[in-house]
A = this chain, B = another copy of it.
């Protein structure tokens, strides 16, 4: 967690491996397998299909004619175990592969990350270990002859070297002391370290180690009637400044001294067992959830991908939480932070405070608004909002700007000023509702009041709908988070998806005002009264109700001339989640207003809208395979 590091395998024939700071799996070959006979046997190595075929013979680059004709591209003597002989059990924190005598378990336990300001060094080492562990069991208990097993990584770049892990019985390899892995046999038997270009050759060769080799790992023999368990630690250690503009180091460098320290800690018996125990607890938790197998798979996959994309930085001595957006590696994309809020508040609420504060300090801005979408020149005061992200690929963007947003556009890459304003408000409201942190709320009351003023500046005073694009768009228009869909979800102005999000934001602002007022702070005053008087939430709700068709369906965009007026979108109901979520955590005395909102006709209207779309006889919001379409007019959809 927080290391922006992954160990990936599982997609057959495409490799994987150790990846740091990349928006995709690594592209190494992973060789995990057994061969009949002892180390010197010529039998093929039967491996899990975690490698690409047709590897180059790098030795031939040196040998020239000694290599013989055609030997520049010989394949190693490795055979992929057929898919139908492989069984996978992909649990929340254990990924287990079984094939014949091979059983591989990869452990990726997770838990709350303790607040670094109050956590002990030991707690931080447990939480921030930049690595995962694995166990490779070779069960030859019913076999009649010796088997030789291996775990090795064929790197796509040179620079691997054997490292002395210092742990008795263990050995390891490192790529420039940045990425590495180490292993030891539970049986405390000697482990053969191998490093050559060709994994199969390395097991047989009298020189198992050639420092020029790019494929490195471990081999061990398993006599008939016995089994062996190899424990493996796989980790990274990126030292020094890793981000630009806002210069940060990995927080784990405060509690680990080196890659060797990381690998030894992971491999030490007590930690290894504890790591595995936590993983198994998590496995059981998800299994007990009652979710379908498909849902469990998605959650297990999402959890790993999420943590593999996180960075906990140390910026000038303070923690700085970053989630990188998948393949794009945009940092703390705010319209995704709001999706992650439920997870983070469950596991480590301090992370949300960290995000809120960093958006205020570094990535807030004050704009003007356009009075007419088609005229970039007529402007009026706008208000505070927040940038789409904080930069990309470890480059923090300039203060108040994102890596994503551009002027002059009406589609993808335009500004999301209104939506990000909502997202920050909703993030704050969720944080305060869940944690009851009114200290933070009082410290940031001026920001929250500025958010209310900014909401107001963008809205139509009658309908409450978002009506004014930010002047940052120039002659372009604002978009929503659904940036790769058509106008039904791409356009922000008069969008009913965004209208419900604004409605929830107003309710959140009201809730936060109440929380401080109820606590006896008499200065809520003017701003809170104005919220009550204007009641934008009510305006939006009433306008949406008045806009619903006789068929019970709300148009996507409330502009009859806009093609989005014909679109039927499901995300209209998305923002209902926030008031429901807050209700769960508020003290009874603070629930009244929210409970009233839950009974508002808007909710019934949105409920009917959703049922109409899902049960539409024309199946306009379904794909042929019954997959759900977010918008009836777009063939693009998101999970």
Contact = CB atoms under 8 A, between A and B. Distances in A.
B395 A206 contact: no
A378 to B, nearest CB: 20
Interface in A348-399: 391-395, 397
B407 A65 contact: no
A455 to B, nearest CB: 27
Contacts of A329: 158
A404 B484 contact: no
Kindly report how many copies of this chain are found in the complex they form together.
2
Contacts of A328: 61-62, 212
A438 interface: no
A98 interface: no
A211 B636 contact: no
Contact of A393 (B158, B239, B391, B636): B158
Interface string A200-211: 000000110011
A72 interface: no
A66 interface: yes
Interface stretch (A408-416, A541-549, A587-595): A408-416
Interface string A265-296: 00000000000000000000000000000000
A211 B66 contact: no
A210 B413 contact: yes
Interface in A525-561: none
Interface of A: 23, 61-66, 158-161, 174, 176-177, 206-207, 210-212, 239-241, 244-245, 327-330, 391-395, 397, 402-404, 406-409, 411-413, 474, 483-486, 634-636
20 contacts: A61-B327, A62-B413, A65-B484, A65-B485, A65-B635, A158-B392, A158-B393, A159-B392, A161-B244, A174-B244, A176-B394, A177-B241, A206-B408, A207-B406, A207-B408, A207-B409, A210-B406, A212-B328, A212-B403, A240-B240
Given A206-B474, A211-B395, 18 more contacts: A61-B327, A61-B328, A63-B411, A65-B484, A66-B411, A66-B484, A66-B486, A158-B329, A159-B394, A161-B245, A176-B395, A177-B244, A206-B407, A211-B402, A211-B404, A212-B330, A212-B404, A240-B240
